[in-house]
């Protein structure tokens, strides 16, 4: 592993450790689970028994030490609401979110490369202006607003698509379409800007003079040198997709990690909430390491930086 990847991996790991501490203490700001899981007329003895059975009566420092020890064993405790290990609930929901984010990112990247490259081929053309206007608008649109409008139009008014769930391919259309609005718009603009610079390079002019075809000039000569910037932004957007899935999954009833996280907050299920956040952070950490490796492979200059 080169120094570039090691340096960035160490920085991400330190951020992950800091998050681990913050998650524990911030989760407890949501309130006392005893108030939620016991009736309002519960006696003091019942409340004390509930707190003792779940370790809530211990000092916060003791609870934190127990939490750290459990995390080292990949044990986040048991879910108060579901009555099973929290990690089991998270591992059941997390692949669903990864599928949603993966499909969204793949479609966004492919479409952004095609649209951005074609727009860069003829700057200020009608296609370029229309594409720029639409992608800027999509990058600025809030996910929750787009999701609500999509449900009103395609599910309520037209009746074309289901409003929630993931039982059929039709259930994927609105969640994926809404979630890809922002990354598609941003990535298209990044690809366009990077490709305009790459297509103006001397070696591209030489390829044109030699009679190279349009597609070869764009996707072979130009795109390879523009991909460094695109990969960096795509990595940031991939991490944003996992975080943005919280809103989309809640609106569309998607049974992923975002929906599970919202339920854990509402139910004050500390174990599940902590497991959700840390698993999401670990996935982002691992993805950033992969992006750094890809970046160093594409640009050998950063391997020793």
- Kindly report, residue by residue over 189-226, the tens digit of the pLDDT: 888 888 887 777 676 666 666 666 666 666 666 666 77
Length of the chain: 305
pLDDT of residue 26: 74
pLDDT tens-digit profile of 79-112? 877 778 888 888 888 888 888 888 888 898 889 8
136 assigned to some structural domain: yes
pLDDT of residue 38: 64
Strand partners, 78: 85
Most confident of 43-57, 218-232, 240-254, 284-298: 240-254
Alpha-carbon distance 74 to 69, whole Å? Answer: 9
pLDDT of residue 210: 64
pLDDT of residue 219: 63
172 assigned to some structural domain: yes
Q: What φ, ψ does residue 30 adopt, rounded to 5°? A: -75, -15
When mean pLDDT is compared across 206-215, 234-243, 276-285, the lowest value belongs to: 206-215
31 assigned to some structural domain: no
303: three-class secondary structure by DSSP: coil
Q: Which residue has the higher pLDDT, 249 or 200?
A: 249
Q: Which residue has the higher pLDDT, 265 or 129?
A: 129
Side-chain half-sphere CA neighbours of 106 within 13 A: 6
74-241-288 Cα angle (round to 5):
60
60 assigned to some structural domain: no
pLDDT category of residue 138 using cuts at 50, 70 and 90: confident
Domain that includes residue 203, residue range: 86-302
Which residues, other chains included, contact 19 with Cβ-Cβ below 8 Å and sequence gap of 6+?
A: 277, 278, 281
19 assigned to some structural domain: no
Closest CA to 230 of 110, 88, 143: 110
158: three-class secondary structure by DSSP: coil
284 assigned to some structural domain: yes
Residue 40 has pLDDT above 80, yes or no: no
In contact, 175 and 246? CB cutoff 8 Å: no
How remote is the C-alpha of 196 from its chain's centroid?
A: 28
Q: Which residue has the higher pLDDT, 13 or 140?
A: 140
pLDDT of residue 52: 74
Closest CA to 259 of 100, 45, 141: 100
Alpha-carbon distance 228 to 226, whole Å? Answer: 6
45 assigned to some structural domain: no
DSSP for 31-48, written as a single string: --HHHHHS-TT--HHHHH
Range 256-274 average pLDDT: 81
Alpha-carbon distance 204 to 208, whole Å? Answer: 6
* CATH code, domain carrying 101: 1.10.3720.10
Residue 31: both structure tokens together: 């309130």
Residue 9 has pLDDT above 70, yes or no: no
Rounded mean pLDDT of the chain? 77
Alpha-carbon distance 130 to 110, whole Å? Answer: 18
How many domains would you assign to the chain? Answer: 1
Residue 221: both structure tokens together: 């000569």
When mean pLDDT is compared across 10-24, 141-155, 175-189, 216-230, the lowest value belongs to: 216-230
Q: Which residue has the higher pLDDT, 39 or 134?
A: 134
Q: Where are the alpha helices (DSSP H) in the chain?
A: 3-27, 33-37, 44-53, 60-72, 86-121, 126-140, 143-150, 169-179, 181-199, 202-209, 214-216, 223-252, 257-266, 270-298
- Give this prediction's pTM: 0.73
Strand partners, 85: 78
pLDDT of residue 207: 64
78: three-class secondary structure by DSSP: strand
pLDDT of residue 75: 77
């Amino acid at each position: 592993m080169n120094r570039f990847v090691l340096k960035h991996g160490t920085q991400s790991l330190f951020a992950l450790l800091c998050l681990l501490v913050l998650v524990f203490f911030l989760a407890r700001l949501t309130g006392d689970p005893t108030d939620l899981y016991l009736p309002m007329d519960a006696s003091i003895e019942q409340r004390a028994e509930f707190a003792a059975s779940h370790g809530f009566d211990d000092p916060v420092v003791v609870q934190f030490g127990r939490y750290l020890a459990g995390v080292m064993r990949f044990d986040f405790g048991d879910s108060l609401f579901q009555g099973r290990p929290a990690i089991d609930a998270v591992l059941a929901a997390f692949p669903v979110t990864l599928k949603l984010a993966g499909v969204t990112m793949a479609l966004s990247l492919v479409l952004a490369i095609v649209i951005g490259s074609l727009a860069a081929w003829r700057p200020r053309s009608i296609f370029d202006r229309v594409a720029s206007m639409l992608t800027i608008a999509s990058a600025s649109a809030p996910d929750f607003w787009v999701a609500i409008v999509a449900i009103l139009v395609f599910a309520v008014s037209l009746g074309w698509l289901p409003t929630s769930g993931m039982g059929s391919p039709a259930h994927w259309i609105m969640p994926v379409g809404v979630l890809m609005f922002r990354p598609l718009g941003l990535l298209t603009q990044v690809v366009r800007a990077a490709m305009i610079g790459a297509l103006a390079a001397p070696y591209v002019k030489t390829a044109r003079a030699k009679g190279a075809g349009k597609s070869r000039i764009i996707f072979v000569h130009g795109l390879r040198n523009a991909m460094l910037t695109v990969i960096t932004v795509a990595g940031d957007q991939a991490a944003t997709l996992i975080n943005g899935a919280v809103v989309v999954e809640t609106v569309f009833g998607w049974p992923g990690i975002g929906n599970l996280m919202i339920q854990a907050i509402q139910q004050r299920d500390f174990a599940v909430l902590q497991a959700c956040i840390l698993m999401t952070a670990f996935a982002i950490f691992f993805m950033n390491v992969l992006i750094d490796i890809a970046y160093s492979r594409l640009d050998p200059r950063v391997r020793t930086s």
